[in-house]
Structure 1
């Protein structure tokens, strides 16, 4: 049995990743340029399944390749405590930080001996700022730096982000080698950045993950399938590109299921068609359901109106169907675009931003 090379799992880096090379290259250049390069601080946003975590993984790999020390900021509720008490002390050990010995007893030569005990260098209770600064100082001595990454930024408490970014900003002012890449969902990030204490993050380079270009999608399908000893037929590859719409997770999901269903070394258009019911079911469970979980009732009603009208849907017709004035429709439209659920497709028209979202909603009507 041939090994399936596709990886339809969130956060797992695919064997072949296309369409994100430019961002990774920009960050790599920034790390080599020196302090002040804007791409040392990036803010990645995109819908569920757009490839945020994968891009973070690629950026981490590039930083490590260049000799930088990567620290993943924990996703725990006490992320600052975990950084201060675990992650940074471990990094300091890797960087060669030594414990200090102090003399605790002595005697006259020939009579007794000198006693010492280990006193930790960072005791008592060193601050996050002090530990992070020391790590950057040691990294600089070896010609590298400290690269921090944080996924699911919206899960962090605003006061913790303020404390962390304040420490980073002070290190930046002293031209020490530090970098930060964070990622999250667009709507939640926008709400977070509107709060006090997030000024430093607002200055980061924004990276919005757009759909992957068709040529890159086709290349990803073919090169990944080849890793498992199969190929897509010309008709199948065109159909796969069309249905994927540049959505990163869907490349892996369609590829994985159609690869599994194929009976020969060539994945046919028929194999692709047979995969679609399973593809839609998994998209519903893994993407649509979580995306709609906390959606306000009126915003979901807006989406159902789009399903009833058909997409692309005219916004004036949505307002009429919902029985609301045009300015109220505009508010719902803006919020849903910020959430990554719909997109504008021309003046006065909207469509679903997530593939198969309309199909999923029609089953919940």
Structure 2
């Protein structure tokens, strides 16, 4: 079939033509936006799940909902070696720009811009990446507001002033944080503390975070009340009917149908993981000669899809690991074949490699920092990428 008309879109954070299986989350967030704008109490939200399940896509979709309601929004992607002060300042600046042009009191807008400037400039020196940023606003930095150097206090003051500015217009502010698990524990605690204070004030500001499956554990470790502060949403693979919808609806718009056996084979190969759904759908479309798409088309396309995933999705991650880290992951994959891919006890990995657990700590910690494995509970590890164990065993 015509590859130009191919409707499927595998990509990092790229929204598929049919966002199947996320209706409930989108509807719940609509309620959150209305409640917060009306001054009613509501929790911020945290999305967690493996790589390739569509967390970033959903995060962007939630932000789009806020934009449609004329909220001020900003987004950051956390990094393990970077403080969040400057990224938050940049995101909040974007949110202020989205609401300030509608505000009737320019002096009030300038006052908030001055607070934002003082917050950003409080960074004493460039961070570890040499990053320094000054908001491009022609106002002096405020004194004695959001400039204490205590991140939690500064966030509370910044969020309060920005939320009040948006509240004057009957809307709110949304801060969207991707890769939230990469925020340092002390800064994660500061962000939680600020969210707690803002929610108690009833200020119209929400934080929506997305991260790996251990993000709820990381939040709880940073603040004891974090488990009550957020509404946690586990983003997982698509159930069968939603996966079928993700294949069928975009194809139907192009006048193409799928045989039921083709859908059966696609789901068997993908397990409903959204990234795989798009990847196999795209390659199958290119291989198929016409409508309806058959199971033979899927089987013919499967090696191409697997080869593409082996290079771009799995291989790129494997190549980032050191030899010691690769040995550790290979041991995890071997053990996964015996017990089913999932969480593996670190003690079992040590026994498999005939090593002392302490000697493997650097490899395990390196893999966690690189986002290749995560530790959902003490003494166990699991891959952050679905089917990664299968990929390693096939090498």
Fold in common (TM above 0.5) = yes
Aligned to 1:300: 329
Q: Does the C-alpha gap of structure 1 residues 294 and 25 become closer, same or farther in structure 2, counting only changes over 3 Å?
A: farther
- Which aligned pairs between 1:112-151 and structure 2 lie closer than 5 A? 122=114, 123-126=139-142, 127=146, 129-151=156-178
Out of 269, 280, 284, the position equivalent to 1:243 is: 269
* Distance (whole Å) between structure 2 residues aligned to residue 121 and residue 351 of structure 1: 44
Structure 1 residues 261-270 or 195-204, which shifts more?
195-204
Establish whether residue 79 from structure 1 lines up as the match of residue 105 from structure 2: no
* Distance (whole Å) between structure 1 residues aligned to residue 264 and residue 59 of structure 2: 29
Considering only aligned residues, what root-mean-square deviation do their CA atoms show, in Å?
4.1
Q: Does the C-alpha gap of structure 1 residues 179 and 202 become closer, same or farther in structure 2, counting only changes over 3 Å?
A: same
Q: Which has the larger radius of gyration?
A: 1
Q: Does the C-alpha gap of structure 1 residues 23 and 340 become closer, same or farther in structure 2, counting only changes over 3 Å?
A: farther
> Which one has the bigger strand percentage?
1
SS at match of 2:73: strand
Task: Report if the CA contact (8 A) 1:221-1:255 is conserved.
Answer: yes
* Distance (whole Å) between structure 1 residues aligned to residue 300 and residue 156 of structure 2: 55
Aligned to 1:10: 12
Deviation at 1:61, TM superposition (A): 2.5
Establish whether residue 171 from structure 1 lines up as the match of residue 179 from structure 2: no
Deviation at 1:196, TM superposition (A): 3.8
Aligned to 1:30: 32
SS at match of 2:181: helix
Structure 1 residues 205-214 or 284-293, which shifts more?
284-293
Deviations 1:284-317 (A, max 9, x none): 233324555458456424334237658579x899
Deviations 1:97-142 (A, max 9, x none): 64449xxxxxxxxxxxxxxxx9996253243544432332232233
* Distance (whole Å) between structure 2 residues aligned to residue 157 and residue 322 of structure 1: 31
Establish whether residue 153 from structure 1 lines up as the match of residue 156 from structure 2: no
Establish whether residue 21 from structure 1 lines up as the match of residue 23 from structure 2: yes
SS at match of 1:277: helix
* Distance (whole Å) between structure 2 residues aligned to residue 159 and residue 177 of structure 1: 25
* Distance (whole Å) between structure 1 residues aligned to residue 30 and residue 111 of structure 2: 39
Establish whether residue 62 from structure 1 lines up as the match of residue 88 from structure 2: no
Task: Report if the CA contact (8 A) 2:112-2:162 is conserved.
Answer: no
Task: Report if the CA contact (8 A) 2:72-2:172 is conserved.
Answer: yes
- Which aligned pairs between 1:42-53 and structure 2 lie closer than 5 A? 42-53=45-56
Deviation at 1:185, TM superposition (A): 1.5
* Distance (whole Å) between structure 2 residues aligned to residue 268 and residue 213 of structure 1: 21
Establish whether residue 180 from structure 1 lines up as the match of residue 196 from structure 2: no
* Distance (whole Å) between structure 1 residues aligned to residue 260 and residue 140 of structure 2: 66
* Distance (whole Å) between structure 1 residues aligned to residue 223 and residue 341 of structure 2: 39
* Distance (whole Å) between structure 2 residues aligned to residue 181 and residue 268 of structure 1: 41
* Distance (whole Å) between structure 2 residues aligned to residue 31 and residue 142 of structure 1: 14
SS at match of 2:5: coil
Aligned to 2:282: 256
Aligned to 1:107: none
Q: Does the C-alpha gap of structure 1 residues 222 and 83 become closer, same or farther in structure 2, counting only changes over 3 Å?
A: closer
Q: TM-score, normalised by structure 1?
A: 0.75
Q: Does the C-alpha gap of structure 1 residues 361 and 121 become closer, same or farther in structure 2, counting only changes over 3 Å?
A: closer
Task: Report if the CA contact (8 A) 2:21-2:242 is conserved.
Answer: yes
Aligned to 2:126: none
* Distance (whole Å) between structure 1 residues aligned to residue 350 and residue 191 of structure 2: 44
Q: Which runs of 5+ in 2 are unaligned?
A: 115-138, 147-154, 357-363, 375-380
* Distance (whole Å) between structure 2 residues aligned to residue 217 and residue 341 of structure 1: 26
Deviation at 1:3, TM superposition (A): 0.8
Establish whether residue 357 from structure 1 lines up as the match of residue 388 from structure 2: yes
Structure 1 residues 220-229 or 49-58, which shifts more?
220-229
* Distance (whole Å) between structure 1 residues aligned to residue 113 and residue 383 of structure 2: 56
* Distance (whole Å) between structure 2 residues aligned to residue 72 and residue 231 of structure 1: 38
Deviations 1:250-278 (A, max 9, x none): 11101111111111132221221122122
SS at match of 1:125: coil
Q: Does the C-alpha gap of structure 1 residues 74 and 243 become closer, same or farther in structure 2, counting only changes over 3 Å?
A: closer
